[in-house]
A and B are shown apart, each in its own frame.
Chain A
Amino acid sequence: MRIEILYLAKKEFKDIMRERVYILAFLLQLFIVIGIVLIGTSYAYVQNFMDDPNNQGNYLVYSEVEGFSEYLNQELIKTVSLKDPNYSGALPRNVDGVIWAEKNNSIKLLLRDPAKLEDVSEPIKRAYLKASLKNDISNEILNPMNITIHPRNYSYNITDLFFVEIMQTLLIPLILLLPIFLSMNILSDSIVGEKERKTFEILLAAPLKRIEIIIGKILPTFAISIVQIIVWTVVLSVRGISIFNVPLLLLFLSIIMVALFSISIIFSNISSNITESNLFLTLFMMIVTLLMFVPIPVENNFLKEILSYSPIIPIIKIASNPAVNLLDIGRYILIYSGFALFSLIVALKGIANDENIRL
């Protein structure tokens, strides 16, 4: 690389660092990153009480059928034995209902929330059948599968489940892409700023080719993005949130950066001022964010296939798995390298057009 490009990159870097607005934007990102983790934590905490798959509820159980309570426990219904069949007191706070299992193939059920009937009626009936028929039919008939988990004492906190999922599939990719989105703005401001100030001509008078000028402008924003991604990774690790395969992740994000920065240059080419370029970038980022992060109930197979090539998928795969299938990731790297190269060529063609830089 020619030394002149590095001089230009150094000058651009200094310009960026001098802008108070960008420095504030970096600080704002720190606040956003921390806010995102807090949102993830509170989401997991609320979900914990919302949808605990390991607990169908706590019930007081009066049973005339031997072993009924044990089979209820297998159905994830927690039980407390009831001595008094005529129990009519108010339901204790942590109890969801009362079950009376009678010998004559009948069950009575009192529910705090009658809407839960649909969820618990079948498990209760199954438990009753298993208990009442255990001496009459082969045990295997009503127990088709013996599920064993290894390690045997394995247990997990349900809050961790929701926290890990929302962080890995939604919030970590968002945090990793934030610096790239910001850098797209910085790059666009830098190019359109030259057009607005009519200083592009002076830059062209320098002993640099147009492509070298663009490289000189991309390099500092590229470096800033990479540094920020590393910083956010460290900030997340403070809270024990692991991001795996950082070198591979940086490689893939670099390819994404080349593609997005090229798109930013294309927007700069067609914009006559910063307002216009900001508008294009805002719209572009809104659409990209929508496509990457918002769950879309798509029925169309073609659209499904297109969405399965979303860059968010490899980002999640690389960042969330301790080891990855390099062949699978390589496929995405190849596709996005091609896309990045294509975007870069279009961007450079645009720069080559004198009208686009207001000469």
Chain B
Amino acid sequence: MIEQMVKWELRRLFKNRKFKIAFTLQLLVILLIIPLFGSYVKALEEGGFFNLSVGGKGYLPIGVSSEKNSLTEIISQNKRFEILWTDQTNGMELLRSGRISALLVLEKDFEEKMRSYGSSSVEVYVNTNNPKSVSAYSELNSILLGFRDGAVETRIRALSIEKPNLELVTQNTQNTPVANTNSVNSPQEQLTVNVTTDSDRPTNFREQIERTRKSFEDERGGYIVLLVLLLPLFLSGGMLIDLLISEKERRTGEMLLALPMKREKIFYSKFISILAIILFQLIFWVIALYYFGRISNPLVIVPLTLTALLLLSITGLIGVYSKNYKDSALIVTVTFILLFFLLFGTSTLYVAGLKEVAVISPLSLVIVIENGTYSLKEAALSILPSLSFSLALIYLSTALYRKDEFYFGPRPSLTELIYEFAGKMKIKDKRYGPYLISLVFGFIAIFISIIFEIFFGIITLYFTESIFAILLLWASIEELSKSIGVFSATKYFPLKWHEGLLAGMASGLGFALLENIIFTVFAINFFPDYAIRVLLMRTFLSGGVHIVSTGIIGMGITNRRYLIPAFIVGITVHLCYNTIVLQGAL
């Protein structure tokens, strides 16, 4: 039956106008990118981005006070300049008003001096209050220096001056003695630069950036390939949502539900049909790009398929949860933006040298495979997290898909779903029930916290740059996330204050346990010598603080009169600890 449904879905998709347009569009984009690929990468490598950019035309208004000559002709050919021919006095006025970003003043007999092997003075004026003057000066200066060097070369050739011989020596041959050290006339200085030799592991931030730069240079082509290949994935993600939502909007879902088959199979049929289309597209593009020499190893299809699975599992869940297209459109946009940042962020970390962190992204595996340096361990580390996360989401989607409310409404709110999930963990024995719920939600709270801490952390950092504000924000987010467990427990068990305290402590314990495991794994990877210390310190200090702070909040939740004061106290305890730890670290 499921095979039949997959066939129906595929037939429906291929007849769908939206699908046809989307498929044609991506075909056009990719076909366009392949021939442009070489010139595009070359332009980027030569720093030609701004020269090619449409908005770059006339971006730099400059004033030129000069007769037309060979130098001004070169400047005029630069499309980024908008040139105003003016005299010096008027030019200075225009510069002050911000109408021009720089003023170039050449002598009247500039051309004549150039031809007669003379020297001419060139004045460049900038207005430091105009942010654009930096660009104008930089662009103008590079032309002036280029012209000057060109003029020197021409004169050297014209006067038949013999150029010095330049010999490139290697580290091994450099010991050739250089004659007559006594005749050195230049000022002798001691070697003042840092003479530390290179090591494999970057030891300062500047060097780290330098490495990143080099990696970007090497991987830039690979990055564009990734972008090209992600296009069909992102477009197809929308198709799955379309298949799921259209049944709700057209009210045809009821008929499907009446079919003599399990509901999850309906979901799987839609999921499989889209996955088949993605696989077909991926195989097509990988073969095409391999044929054109844009990728070196067709095995990249493995991590790309995993990325597709991850994307589909997320869009599948959105499709099941959303009421209508409008609802899903925004969630999809948010999710795609976050996913895009996550996937590319982690693969950027990979080229920056932080392989231990980056390895969790399947896209890092694409880079590794392209480099030909993949190992079984790296492959397993890349595959397992995303695969297990995808499977968990697919399970969640099918669990929701089984529920009538997602078809017939009213759709349960997130809070109701959380309480329902808590209800599944309810055991009759009150001695353990609330604490089990709180403990499990404590584990989950860490993931909720990470997402919100990144999102609001970035916004707060933008506006304040205050580390105190960030610490306060993080303490609040973590305490609010941990309290979800206690709120859920009180839904099923009427708790007294001391039971609320214990439930809060259980939630704090769950949070601290998982947080400690994550921190310790990081420490083992980055600072193996400190791993034990990190584990012990976090267990006894951070663990204790999480337990105490959420315990206090747990008491407040059981007695609503004290809810806000309890939150304030719990967050304050957490904040004090964060501040002390930070001061200690600094």
Contacts of A51-108 to chain B: CB distance below 8 A: 51, 53, 58, 60-69, 80-95, 98, 100, 102-103, 105-108
Per a CB cutoff under 8 Å, which of A25, A45, A150, A312 touches B125? Answer: A150
Are A297 and B39 in contact, CB atoms less than 8 angstroms apart? yes
Collect the chain B residues with CB atoms within 8 Å of residue A286's CB. Answer: 25
- Whole-angstrom distance between the alpha carbons of A7 and B559 in the complex? 47
List of A residues within 8 angstroms of B114 by Cβ: 144
Given the interface pairs A69-B186, A80-B189, A148-B123, the reply to whether A117 lies near B209 with Cβ below 8 Å is: no
Smallest Cβ distance from B23 to chain A, in angstroms?
Answer: 12
Q: Is the CB of B169 within 8 A of A324?
A: no
State A121–B153 Cα separation when bound (angstroms).
Answer: 13
- Contact partner, B169, options A109, A121, A313, A316, Cβ 8 Å: A109
Q: Please, how many angstroms separate the alpha-carbon atoms of A293 and B49 in the complex?
A: 11
B372 contacts which chain A residues (CB < 8 A)? none
Task: Decide if B450 is an interface residue (CB 8 Å cutoff).
Answer: no
A342 within 8 A of B: no
* A140 shortest CB reach to chain B, Å: 4
Given contacts A110-B174, A164-B134, contact A147 B122 (CB under 8 A): yes
Known A32-B337, A274-B325, A316-B55; judge A145-B120 contact (CB<8 A): yes
Instruction: Check B123–A150 contact: CB distance below 8 A.
Output: yes
Given known A-B contacts A31-B455, A62-B178, A141-B155, A129 and B164 have beta carbons under 8 A apart: yes
Stretch of B195-203, B533-541, B546-554 lying at the A interface: B195-203
A161 touches B191 (CB 8 A): no
B347 to chain A, nearest CB (A): 15
Closest to A60 in B: B191
Cβ contact within 8 Å between B166 and A121: yes
Query: Does A205 lie at the interface of the complex (its beta carbon under 8 Å from any beta carbon of B)?
Result: no
A148 and B187 alpha carbons, distance in the complex (Å)? 26
Let me know if B119 and A292 touch, CB within 8 A. no
Is A359 interfacial (CB-CB < 8 Å)?
no
* A286, A312, A322: residue with the most chain B Cβ atoms closer than 10 Å: A322
Determine the distance from Cα of A313 to Cα of B174 in the docked complex, in whole angstroms. Answer: 53
Residues of B within 8 A of A31 (CB): 337, 455, 458-459
Q: Take A103-B183, A313-B57, A325-B99 as given contacts and tell me if A28 and B337 are in contact as well, using a CB distance cutoff of 8 Å.
A: yes
Q: Given that A49-B210, A98-B174, A297-B40 are contacting pairs, would A83 and B188 also be in contact in the complex, using a CB cutoff of 8 Å?
A: yes
A297 touches B36 (CB 8 A): yes
8 contacts between A and B (CB under 8 A): A19-B326, A34-B458, A67-B186, A102-B178, A111-B168, A137-B161, A145-B121, A279-B21
Closest to B39 in A: A297
Least CB separation from B103: chain A residue: A150
Interface residues of A (CB under 8 A from B): 19, 21, 24-25, 28, 30-32, 34-35, 37-38, 45-46, 49-51, 53, 58, 60-69, 80-95, 98, 100, 102-103, 105-111, 114, 117, 121-126, 128-129, 132-133, 137-151, 154, 156, 160-161, 164-165, 168-170, 173, 189, 238-239, 242, 244, 274-276, 278-279, 283, 286, 291-293, 295-297, 307-308, 310, 312-313, 315-317, 320-325
Closest to A23 in B: B330
CB contact list, B338-355 vs A, under 8 A: 341
With a CB–CB cut-off of 8 A, which chain B residues contact A53?
A: 138, 141-142
Given contacts A21-B326, A49-B209, A170-B55, contact A62 B177 (CB under 8 A): no
Asked if B168 contacts A117 (CB within 8 A), the reply is yes
Contact: B148 with A144, CB < 8 Å? yes
Which residues on A sit within 8 Å (CB–CB) of B278? none
**CB-nearest residue of chain B relative to A244?**
B98
- CB neighbours (8 Å) of B529 from chain A are none
CB-CB contacts below 8 Å: B67-121 with A: 94, 97-99, 101, 113-114, 117-121
Decide yes or no whether B580 CB sits under 8 A from chain A. no
A168→B59 contact, CB < 8 A? yes
A140 to B117, CA, bound (A): 7
Given A103-B183, A160-B134, A165-B135 in contact, is the A108-B25 Cβ separation under 8 Å?
A: no
Contacts of B120 in A (CB 8 A): 144-146
Are the C-beta atoms of A322 and B164 separated by less than 8 Å?
no
Please tell me if the beta carbons of A49 and B459 are within 8 angstroms of each other in the complex.
no
* Interface-central residue, A38, A114, A315, A321, by most chain B CB under 10 Å: A321
Does the CB pair A144–B134 fall under 8 Å?
no
Bound complex: CA A58 to CA B210 (Å): 15
4 nearest A-B pairs in the assembled complex, by CB-CB distance: A322-B98, A295-B52, A85-B178, A140-B119
Q: A169-B59, A323-B98 are in contact. Are A147 and B458 (CB under 8 A)?
A: no
| Distance in angstroms between the alpha carbons of A173 and B55 in the assembled complex | 9
With contacts A95-B193, A144-B114 taken as known, whether A317 is within 8 angstroms of B178 at the C-beta atoms is: no
Q: Are B462 and A169 in contact (CB under 8 A)?
A: no
CB nearest neighbor in B for A173: B55
Q: Which A residue's beta carbon lies closest to that of B212?
A: A46
Indicate if the CB atoms of A28 and B119 lie closer than 8 Å. Answer: no
Say yes or no: B134 contacts A156, CB within 8 Å. yes
A132 nearest in chain B by CB position = B164
B22: chain A residues at CB < 8 Å are 279
- In the bound complex, residues from chain A placing their C-beta under 8 Å from that of B165 are 105-107
- Complex interface: chain A residues within 8 A of B129 (CB): 322
Contacts of A108 in B (CB 8 A): 166-167, 169, 174, 176, 178
Q: Does A313 contact B325, Cβ atoms closer than 8 Å?
A: no
CB distance from A10 to the nearest CB of B (A): 22
The one of A63, A81, A107, A142 that contacts B152, using a Cβ cutoff of 8 Å? A142
Residues of chain B contacted by A114 (CB below 8 angstroms): 168
B191 touches A80 (CB 8 A): yes
Whether the pair B122, A64 counts as a contact (CB closer than 8 A) is: no
Partner of B134, one of A80, A161, A307: A161
- Beyond A92-B191, A92-B196, list 4 extra A-B contacts (CB 8 Å): A51-B47, A137-B161, A173-B55, A286-B25
* A81 contact from B174, B178, B189, Cβ within 8 A: B189
**Complex Cα–Cα for A238 and B334 (A):** 25
B198 interface neighbour in A82, A93, A102, A323, Cβ under 8 Å: A93
In the complex, whether B280 has a CB less than 8 A from a CB of chain A is no
Once A51-B47, A292-B55 are accepted as A-B contacts, the answer to whether A21 and B164 lie under 8 Å apart by CB is no
Cα of A69 to Cα of B314 in the assembled complex, Å: 61
Residues of A within 8 A of B163 (CB): 125, 129
Complex Cα distance A46/B217, Å?
A: 11
* Most central of B131, B156, B176, B462 by chain A CB within 10 Å: B131
Chain A residues in 8 Å Cβ range of B119: 139-140, 143-146
B170 CB-CB contact with A under 8 Å: yes
Are B55 and A83 in contact, with the CB atoms below 8 A?
no
Contact assessment for A80 and B193 in the assembled complex, using a CB-CB cutoff below 8 Å: yes
Q: Which B residues are in CB contact (< 8 Å) with A279?
A: 18, 21-22
B126 in the interface (beta carbon within 8 A): yes
Which of B43, B61, B152, B190 is A297 in contact with, Cβ under 8 Å?
Answer: B43
Nearest chain B CB to A89 CB, angstrom units: 7
Taken together as a complex, chains A and B put the C-alpha atoms of A355 and B198 apart, in Å, by: 74
Asked if A63 and B184 make an inter-chain contact with CB atoms under 8 angstroms apart, the answer reads: yes
Mask: chain B, 7-31; 1 = CB below 8 Å from A; 0 = not:
0000000000110011001000000
Interface 1/0 per residue, B392-430 and A, CB below 8 Å:
000000000000000000000000000000000000000
Q: How far, in angstroms, from A315 to B162 measured CA to CA in the complex?
A: 52
- Return the contact of B330 from the options A21, A89, A133, A161 (Cβ within 8 A): A21
Q: Whole-angstrom distance between the alpha carbons of A65 and B155 in the complex?
A: 21
Do A129 and B161 touch across chains, with their CB atoms under 8 A apart? yes
CB distance from B484 to the nearest CB of A (A): 21
**Residues of chain A with a CB closer than 8 A to B216's CB:** 46, 50
Chain B residues lying within 8 Å of A21, measured Cβ to Cβ, are 326-327, 329-330
Chain B residues near A160: list those with CB within 8 A: 131, 134
Complex Cα distance, B242 from A78, in Å, reads 61
Tell me the bound Cα distance from A173 to B149 in angstroms: 37
Q: Is B259 part of the contact surface with A, judged by Cβ < 8 Å?
A: no
Interface residue? B124 (CB, 8 A): yes
Can you list, as one digit per residue, whether each of B433-456 has a CB less than 8 Å from chain A (1) or not (0)?
000000000000000000000010
Pair A275/B325 contact, Cβ less than 8 Å: yes
Query: B583 in the interface, Cβ–Cβ < 8 Å?
Result: no
Asked if residues A292 and B191 are in contact (CB atoms below 8 Å), the reply is: no
